[in-house]
Amino acid sequence: MKNQAATALPDSLWAASAPSFQADALQGDHSCDVVVIGAGFTGLACALELAEQCTSVIVLETQQVGFGGSGRNVGLVNAGLWLEPDKVNATLGDDYGNRLYQELSTSPSRVFSLIDRHGIECEAQRRGTLHLAPNACGLRELDRRAEQLASRGAPIQRLGSEKTVELTGSTYYKGAIFDPRAGTIQPLAYVRGLAKAAISAGAAVYERSPVVSATQHHGQWRVATPGGTVTAERVVIATNGYSAGLIPSMPASFVPINFFQCATQPLDKALLKRILPQKQGCWDTGLVMTSLRLDRAGRLIIGSVGEIHDGAQSGFLTAWANSMLKKFYPFLAPQPWSYCWSGRIAYSSDHVPHLHQLAPGMITTLGYSGRGIGPGTAMGTWMAKYLLGTPIESLPLPVTDVQSIKTRKIQALYYARGSDLYHISQRLL
């Protein structure tokens, strides 16, 4: 029973409200040009691009499409990375930093145009997102970020307290950056839509097909699952934060951090006029980030760093969520939480995504550090373009060696316990 829970999608709002999708498990021996391992945004965007360019592609997923971060996240389709643009340049150098910024600033457009082109039903709303500051320290961070974004030509607006109160319906936050390039989606519905689009374009997608080995003979890769094999010239590893033992160096190269969300029942119409009235999705500058958004049915969804074990609601985390709701919207009575779930984020050592050539003909990107809808969709597409002949130097990320983070377990523990302490302090203040 426990194993079953551990292998199914979490009992989340997204699982309850997404259009259904099911695929067979791989059986027997197959061959194709490219095999993609992992069916999240990265793997499926890659498979879609390859299939549309008439390359034969098979996607293998250990559980179900969207089982990883892609089916569990907040659904904020933001431009750029979580890291401030100047810090990205300091890490990657100006050449790659500027290229990555340009590519990712248009990544929401890439996502929303894929949704339009393939008619993906995923509650897509392009009403911008709000980056919110609850205190003076956060306001300084917003000022710095706004200046960096404006100097790069981003059409953002730095909002003062009055406008922030109007757009959030809350006096808790003191200022905001409004980014009109961004929006929200139902993430599991989007990733399932990508799977359907890839299949329509000619890709094959298999669920419940964990890849247990990948070996190379005479220039061909042979990838094995319990039910069958795929032989292919190229392999794309798109397992990101859910990487386990297949390529042992991969899980050692990021810090796993859990993020949880709790969703209310649908709120009544009178309340919805007072809460995020224009339905922007929000994230904040808190030391431990908080997210806030509505879904199409009018449920309020709040999230932060933490883990929900096996679908069981954690009293500690739901108590934190209720205490924050009281601060954001004192007129809202404590809510029964209809859904609580969590997922794993892969934080890279420098909080910038990494592109690795793991072996001849085997490529991966990972470590989106909490910003993966736009970046995952873009990076999947770039990997496909590389496999189709675009020189690797023209991709917006340098190819680097996989580096293991020796202190990753300590760092993961530090983030987990540190966020617990932060949540306790937020409840007390």
Ligand X SMILES: Cc1cc2nc3c(=O)[nH]c(=O)nc-3n(C[C@H](O)[C@H](O)[C@H](O)COP(=O)(O)OP(=O)(O)OC[C@H]3O[C@@H](n4cnc5c(N)ncnc54)[C@H](O)[C@@H]3O)c2cc1C
Residue nearest to ligand X (CB): 372
Chain centre to alpha carbon of residue 69: 6
**d(C-alpha 59, C-alpha 47), whole Å:** 7
Q: What is the largest CA-CA distance in the chain?
A: 68
**d(C-alpha 310, C-alpha 173), whole Å:** 33
DSSP state for residue 125 in the 8-state scheme: B
| Closer residue to ligand X (CB): 30 or 72 | 72
190 binds ligand X, rule: CB under 6 A = no
| Closer residue to ligand X (CB): 242 or 329 | 242
Nearest distance from residue 366's CB to ligand X, in Å? Answer: 7
Nearest distance from residue 160's CB to ligand X, in Å? Answer: 25
Instruction: Please select the residue that binds ligand X; options are 26, 34, 35, 74, rule is CB under 6 A.
Output: 74
70 binds ligand X, rule: CB under 6 A = yes
186 binds ligand X, rule: CB under 6 A = no
Instruction: Please select the residue that binds ligand X; options are 21, 32, 34, 72, rule is CB under 6 A.
Output: 72
294 binds ligand X, rule: CB under 6 A = no
| Closer residue to ligand X (CB): 43 or 138 | 43
The sign of the torsion formed by the CA atoms of 306, 307, 311, 316 equals negative
Binding mask 325-344 for ligand X (x = CB under 6 A): -----------------xxx
Size of the site for ligand X (CB under 6 A): 43
Instruction: Please select the residue that binds ligand X; options are 40, 80, 85, 306, rule is CB under 6 A.
Output: 40
Nearest distance from residue 330's CB to ligand X, in Å? Answer: 26
Nearest distance from residue 24's CB to ligand X, in Å? Answer: 14
| Closer residue to ligand X (CB): 275 or 340 | 340
- Assess contact for 280 and 130: CB atoms under 8 A: yes
Q: Rule CB under 6 A: which of 361-380 touch ligand X?
A: 368, 370-374, 376
Walk across the sheet containing 290-294 and list its strands.
Answer: 157-159, 175-179, 129-133, 281-284, 290-294, 300-305, 255-264, 337-347
Structure tokens at 62: 């250990």
73 binds ligand X, rule: CB under 6 A = yes
| Closer residue to ligand X (CB): 67 or 386 | 67
Instruction: Please select the residue that binds ligand X; options are 61, 103, 123, 284, rule is CB under 6 A.
Output: 61
Q: Rule CB under 6 A: which of 206-235 touch ligand X?
A: 210-211
Instruction: Please select the residue that binds ligand X; options are 173, 221, 259, 329, rule is CB under 6 A.
Output: 259
Scanning 18-26, 34-42, 324-332, 408-416 for contacts with ligand X by CB under 6 A, the matching segment is 34-42
Q: Which long-range contacts (CB under 8 A, 24 or more apart) does 390-399 make?
A: 392/357, 395/355, 396/96, 396/99, 396/100, 396/102, 396/103, 396/104, 397/92, 397/96, 397/100, 397/353, 397/354, 397/355, 397/365, 398/92, 398/96, 398/355, 399/355, 399/356, 399/357
Nearest distance from residue 269's CB to ligand X, in Å? Answer: 26
Instruction: Please select the residue that binds ligand X; options are 16, 54, 244, 287, rule is CB under 6 A.
Output: 244
**d(C-alpha 238, C-alpha 384), whole Å:** 12
246 binds ligand X, rule: CB under 6 A = yes
Scanning 61-69, 90-98, 312-320, 326-334 for contacts with ligand X by CB under 6 A, the matching segment is 61-69
256 binds ligand X, rule: CB under 6 A = no
3-state SS class at 100? helix
| Closer residue to ligand X (CB): 168 or 342 | 342
Helices (H), ranges, 33-84: 41-52
- Residues 6+ positions from 26 with CB-CB distance below 8 Å: 58, 60, 206, 209, 225, 227, 228, 230
Bridge partner list, 281: 129
| Closer residue to ligand X (CB): 267 or 383 | 383
3-state SS class at 15? helix
Nearest distance from residue 389's CB to ligand X, in Å? Answer: 23
**d(C-alpha 381, C-alpha 365), whole Å:** 11
282 binds ligand X, rule: CB under 6 A = no
Bridge partner list, 230: 30, 223
Strands 337-347 and 281-284: unpaired
Instruction: Please select the residue that binds ligand X; options are 13, 35, 38, 419, rule is CB under 6 A.
Output: 38
241 binds ligand X, rule: CB under 6 A = yes
Q: Which residues bind ligand X (CB under 6 A)?
A: 37-43, 60-63, 67-70, 72-76, 78, 210-211, 238-244, 246, 259, 342-345, 368, 370-374, 376
